[in-house]
Amino acid sequence: MASPATRPSRRSLSAARLTGSIGRTLVSVADHAVDKLSASRWSAFAWKGRAVQPTVLALAAIGTAFYVVRFWTVYAAGELFHRLGFDWTMFWAQAMVVRAGDAPDMYDFSGDGPVTHQLQVLSQFYTGPGKFQFALPVAYPPWFAALFLPFTFPSPPMGFLLWSALSLACGVWLVVRFKQMLPSVPLLGAAVLIFGAYPVALGLFMGQVVLIMGVAVAEMFVSFRAGRDFRAGLWLAVLLLKPQYAVLFGLLILWKWRVRALLGAALGTIALFVLGLIVVGFPAFLRISDSAGDFADFRSEHAAPLLMINWRALVLYALPWIASNQGVILVAVLSIATVIVLFAFWQGPWNAAAPEFSTRFAAVALGSLVTSYHSHVHGIALMMVPLAAAWAQPVFSTKTRVALLAAVYLPTLLLVWTGGVVERFAVSAAGDLSLWYAWPDGVPVLLFMTAFVLVCRDMWRAEQPRLHLTALTMMKSPMAVNNTALTRLRRVGLIRRAN
């Protein structure tokens, strides 16, 4: 108990309370002033955007038309299941092994293994002059093969058509959500911005699962904003089709202790695990390391890390001489540091209704690609809707917006030039000539990393006043808050220092 000499008087306590009240009022006024200035800067950018938006939409429309023609010319050249739907063929062969009753061998991709035998069934549909591909490791969890099984019952071309129709339907739903996040963009404009994006087109061409997962991320984001955390957790579980993309989101809701979201994610995970046990069997779970081990190799040729958009790819380009074990350690350190930076933006209470929630969530979506050990360009399709919501907020600078547009759409423009203008949609019979990477391998990772760093920079600048204010409100001296509020008011020009 404090002595009378050290115990504060009632008058001093009243003065302290009054000073704290004044300080909080000034801080509120300063925050409002900063918001007004940010809004005015955003209005200026939006005014410029009236001239930029038609150009971007026109280029995206050209890119969408190019992809339609490109898909048809590749199919007409007899490249079905050789180039068109390449990844889908691996999913199909693996699922067919499960149907044949050899589920424990679904991760055996040896030259004479069951997956290779099933894959060769698809060679009859390839009419090109090249050699049909051999089986590559597929490190997807067993429940993915269980969910893929319905697409193996029709003929392979019909199965691929149904899979593509499902992916297109997911793309259309992304258009709807994209339009909701950016109401000023016309519906047709939202459509070309989605389907003209290089990651979306690449995912469709390869027969990837990214558009389904893109819907999962979009619905998780929408559910969180609507206050439906349990439903958001269920959508998070869908990302376990590719578990590496679920890790960062899972850590976020665990750190912020979103109990209902955790329950939803746990229920979804249990459902997928049980599905895998029933359809595929437990032995397959023990054999997944056969494929994952190959992808874990820092320089795995099958994983193609030089084509990725994560720390792994950047380290390989920046330090090509680094030993593999040292490279893995460096990537782990960079990934952990990235998580710490991203989570620093989430200081304070969870408020999904706040405008800054969109930018924070979009940053985490980007970070899930950066920190993933296996993350290719088509993974950018996962973040299209959260990024659209963040785009509507006055946080990203003009440089950051240009960098984001370049990461998503510049590859499309390069393909339009090389594949459409220069090569006139010719499809080379040489299988080693890529139709989708008409640039040095490092371009995608450099573009994406530049955009990600700029996003983090803008968010750090936007969050600094809030983080500083949070720290000050934890201090014992209310006068410190008062003085800081006065300083912030002076910085925004609302008051001037007395002479």
Read off the pLDDT of residues 287-321 as tens digits, 9 standing for 90 and up. Answer: 888 777 777 889 988 888 999 999 999 999 999 99
In the structure encoding, which two tokens stand for residue 432, read together? 């080693």
Which pLDDT value is given to residue 438?
83
Which pLDDT value is given to residue 479?
47
Which pLDDT value is given to residue 138?
84
- Angle value at C-alpha 190, between 186 and 195, nearest 5 degrees: 150
In the structure encoding, which two tokens stand for residue 137, read together? 């490791």
Which pLDDT value is given to residue 59?
95
Low-confidence stretches of the chain (pLDDT < 50) are: 1-27, 29-48, 474, 476-482, 485-486, 488-499
Which pLDDT value is given to residue 287?
86
Q: Report the C-alpha dihedral over residues 331, 350, 231, 343, rounded to 10 degrees.
A: 0
Name residue 196's amino acid.
Answer: G
pLDDT single digits (tens) 34-59:
444 444 444 334 434 566 788 999 99
**Residue 376 β-bridge partners:** 308
In the structure encoding, which two tokens stand for residue 89, read together? 């063929």
pTM (two decimals): 0.84
Rounded-to-5 percentages of helix, strand, coil across the chain = 70, 0, 25
Q: Which of 317, 309, 241 is nearest to 87 (CA)?
A: 241
H runs (alpha helix) in 256-345 = 259-279, 282-287, 289-296, 311-318, 324-344
Q: How far apart are CA 427 and CA 100, in angstroms?
A: 35
Name residue 158's amino acid.
Answer: M
Which pLDDT value is given to residue 4?
37
Which pLDDT value is given to residue 317?
93
